[in-house]
Amino acid sequence: MGILLIISLLLAWPTAGASILIFIVIATIKKIIKIKAKQYDTKKTKAKTNLLNGEIGYPSWINDKEKTDIFIEAIYLDLSRKNVPLHYYKEIINKNESARTIFYYAYTLEKEGASFIEQELAVSELILSLWNKEIEKIKSKRIHEHKKSISQIAKENRRYKIEKIRDKNKALNFHYMMEKKKTRITQQIEKSKINKKSIKVSFQQANDYYNTRDPKISILLLYNEIEGYGESISIKINFFKINKTTEKVITLIMLLHTKMRDDLFLHLSNGSIKKTDIVGDDLEPSLLTKVLLKNGK
């Protein structure tokens, strides 16, 4: 009686009856889809578990070339819609180990009652998840390299700043040292009995500290006519380095220049008038002292 009543109502109101019928059909389809989706997920879960537990085999259609080609092509089409590169899919299919894993998975799916289409979808989803993991690895690696690069740049910047500070300190120290030496040497010349016209001392500017081609201290010794040469002679002694012995050597040169001008010229020039430019860094204080003592007797 109840069913007859519902049918009578539907026939009595054709428009309303059609709407109710469509609603019932849609609701039923939704319910069926939901049930199917749940069943599909259950099949995938059990198939993966069985595969991880070592259950292997091949699906019933593996020897059917046409069906196997359809399986491979269907997966490719699905993956291409999901932006998985073809080369990645080919790499999996062409490697024996990964290809076997795919077919083992299809086998466990089939064993759980999955249809051929469900097997295709499940395998496609598996490959998609593997590709997404690869993407995450690449992103993670790039982020790590980017952070490493930023860290390296920061370290280089710190090193550069430290070196810049050190260079600045070196320049300041050199300037301070040169000023002190300039003052002391100038005072020595002023206090000594040296004819001020016979000696000239010049100093390198502090801002030329890194210029290694020019001397840092130059001493020009001037001689009037020397016996055997018949003309005015000058000796230039250049110091390219500043160290602990530099000032001592300069002091000895001034003493020798005061006491034995001609002999000093002959000693430093080694008897050759051509050698009038001398590197002061090569002069040993002990040798100059011996010359001074020998001629002082």
In this structure, what token pair is assigned to residue 100? 């076997």
Phi (first) and psi of residue 260, to 5 degrees? -145, 70
Residue 37's nearest CA partner among 100, 133, 114, 96 is 114
- pLDDT on residue 271: 47
Neighbours of 144 (CB within 10 A): 10
Going from the C-alpha of 34 to that of each of 28, 31, 251, the distances in angstroms are 10, 5, 104
Residue 188's nearest CA partner among 176, 199, 172 is 199
Cβ neighbors of 251 (< 8 A, separation 6 or more) are: 188
Decide if pLDDT at 14 tops 60.
no
**Which DSSP category does 90 fall into?**
H
Instruction: Fill in the amino acid letter for 53.
Output: N
> What pLDDT, in 10s, does the model give residues 122-141?
999 899 988 888 888 888 78
- Which residue is associated with the tokens 């539907």? 10
In this structure, what token pair is assigned to residue 121? 């979808």
Name residue 203's beta-bridge partners. 217
> Is pLDDT larger for residue 296 or for residue 188?
188
Tell me the mean pLDDT in the region 180-202: 78
* CA dist., res. 227 & res. 27, Å (int): 129
In this structure, what token pair is assigned to residue 168? 């600045």
Tell me the mean pLDDT in the region 40-62: 87
* CA dist., res. 50 & res. 109, Å (int): 9
**Which DSSP category does 214 fall into?**
S
> What pLDDT, in 10s, does the model give residues 218-270?
888 876 655 555 556 777 888 888 777 888 888 888 777 776 655 555 555 55
Residue 293's nearest CA partner among 265, 255, 262 is 255
Decide if pLDDT at 272 tops 50.
no
> What pLDDT, in 10s, does the model give residues 143-169?
777 777 777 777 777 777 777 777 777
